Structure 1
């Protein structure tokens, strides 16, 4: 991995944080070192480390805390960093899920799949009822004021959001560029009949919508190529309605994708507009084409909103276009992706 390191040291914290560190169970180091790494995918590039190099200290909320009303509370600041910083999220392997509906949906899915949902902390608006079906015995429930809810949720009316969950990343998420020991491609996805591959999708709304559509049409997982945004980004989570916690997601390079293709003998398809002058003439997304690949393990690659498919994707894949009348050249990637995912969904 090519890395560039940027070192900075913060000598001290304000007096009130030092005092808090002396009288609570919340570990706040007096000095810290940050290594800035430029990874191959250019996304998860900041790794915080404490001064002795033992790794970033986990932020634990004391069990006796049952209510938070101040927006300057250290735990609130920790949650804001989880919300706003991809590197911070991934170093803590945690994310904020905003809203009762996605929290309940994630919990219900995990219960049905017999996989334990790990909610480290459930933040509830004052006087709000605990969401039905949630087992609050296994998580820390904290009541928060309306100002705290507004700050964490990012909405003006706190009354519209009653719950926020601090959840650990699911075990179905894997970053192969960071965790290079996970070399066994047969363990990346429970099933490999249909995998959606996203090539440089940078808009979190589009990425979240595509993840939710893939789940709705029973695809087996998501593979993120370099340049994609974080699937646990606040906007991506909102668009996916929690599907990022339910569908297996693997982040890796074309080398890893090639390994997956070779292991399962998968057909590589890529959505691409039917434009004259291209090296390869795209197939048309017809019923005949769908039938021809119905029983073949396949990857569907969708390109970014601006530049479309990368050159490598165009060379490695069979191009497929959505037939359209008139002079339309292309559709929004989430709209086009929905059509592809529906047409090519696994057949029972």
Structure 2
């Protein structure tokens, strides 16, 4: 059970507070939906392998994967799979002003550790296949060799009503292009949109009420680690209005033409996109079922994607990808600071 796999010389580099509950981050739900008595979240330093699913630390990790408010209460996320772990770790090593968020690596017995991961200051714990299946939530773990316990990154902000408008300047390093998600509940769609925003060089994403947690396991899988790379803000329209006023931003919202109310809807064309090239811009995408909220429709300039087919609308992640590509910042300086 306690056989040592990694040199004990690594352990003095680990702060005593590692894997203990962290400062509370305001959760997506203001009220915790888990029992007030805490599951033991501290793993004794003499434990280097875990074989039982009844281990208290395993229960803690499982709760992190399954429960959004529990994740944000502890400020920790369970990231499943080598690919997203390596992408997050590689990105954070390149962006040196951000500390590495990898606290603990749970590795399947006998699995090879990737050589490109610098793990000298990271705690490694070997786990059995039974524990791996439990924590990953997958029946087949052929492609799952490791799971990481990571801190929620400092680039995530959950805003309360006591904020000041000047706080907006700390949310995004570059606010020239910001993606706004209005009630996106499907984690696959949300993760895909964050990944697209990252790929097309957008400055960040703003999550209005009703969105799923960007650190949900399915959202993490779809985003391929973008939730840890792209600045994210969770807030409401009061906060979004403050951001818009602070940077004098224009707000567009994707919407099909067949609206019951007569509204002016612009067509997404190359000329239209070029006319907005120098304007700080928010682009809002609505929920999969209900579309845009009335507040969003009233506050935004509506835009639709021209289609020659007979379909009424596109999947939100597909429509979002088109908008993010067409309106991406190309060779622009950081206009948010000017």
Instruction: Place the TM-score, normalised by the shorter chain, in its bin.
Output: 0.7 to 0.9
The verdict on how the C-alpha distance between 1:58 and 1:194 changes in structure 2, with shifts beyond 3 A counting, is farther
The verdict on how the C-alpha distance between 1:27 and 1:97 changes in structure 2, with shifts beyond 3 A counting, is closer
Mapping 1:5-84, distance limit 5 Å = 43-46=29-32, 59-84=41-66
Deviations 1:321-342 (A, max 9, x none): 0001132210010010011101
User: Unaligned stretches of 5+ in structure 2?
Assistant: 1-16, 21-25, 332-338
Q: What displacement does 1:131 show?
A: 2.0
Correspondence for 1:108 among 69, 85, 90: 90
Count of residue correspondences: 309
Correspondence for 2:167 among 180, 184, 206: 184
Mapping 1:236-275, distance limit 5 Å = 236-275=219-258
Mapping 1:1-348, distance limit 5 Å = 43-46=29-32, 59-114=41-96, 115-177=98-160, 180=163, 184-275=167-258, 277-348=260-331
Structure 1 stretches (4+) deviating beyond 4 angstroms? 25-28, 47-51, 178-183
The verdict on how the C-alpha distance between 1:143 and 1:228 changes in structure 2, with shifts beyond 3 A counting, is same
TM-score by structure 2 length? 0.86
Matches of 1:135 and 1:118, distance apart in 2: 13
Q: What displacement does 1:299 show?
A: 0.1
The answer to which structure, 1 or 2, has the higher relative contact order (CA under 8 A, 6+ apart) is 2
Matches of 2:226 and 2:18, distance apart in 1: 31
1:64 aligns to what SS in structure 2? Answer: coil
The verdict on how the C-alpha distance between 1:163 and 1:120 changes in structure 2, with shifts beyond 3 A counting, is same
CA RMSD in angstroms comes to: 2.4
The verdict on how the C-alpha distance between 1:71 and 1:173 changes in structure 2, with shifts beyond 3 A counting, is same
User: Unaligned stretches of 5+ in structure 1?
Assistant: 1-24, 29-38
Q: 2:77–2:151: 8 Å Cα contact kept in structure 1?
A: yes
Q: What displacement does 1:276 show?
A: 5.1
Greater Cα offset, 152-161 or 331-340: 152-161
